[in-house]
Amino acid sequence: MDSTSARRYRNLMSPYRYLEDCDVHVLDCAGKVDVAVGLARLRRLMQELEARPARDGVHRLLIDFRLTEWASEDAHRELSRATRRDFGLNAENPCVYLAFVFPRGNGTVSNRERGFCDTPEALAWLRDPHTLGVNE
Architecture of domain 22-132: 2-Layer Sandwich (3.30)
Distant-in-sequence, close-in-space partners of 15: CB < 8 Å, separation ≥ 6: 27, 28, 29, 30, 41, 44
pLDDT of residue 52: 94
For the chain (length 136 residues), average pLDDT per consecutive 10?
A: 42 75 94 95 93 92 95 96 90 91 82 91 86 52
Q: Angle formed by the axes of helices 73-85 and 35-51, to 10°? A: 20
Distance CA 23, CA 38 (A): 23
pLDDT of residue 112: 87
Domain ranges of the chain: 22-132
pLDDT of residue 132: 59
pLDDT of 63-99, one tens digit each? 999 999 999 999 999 999 999 998 998 888 999 999 9
pTM, 2 dp: 0.82
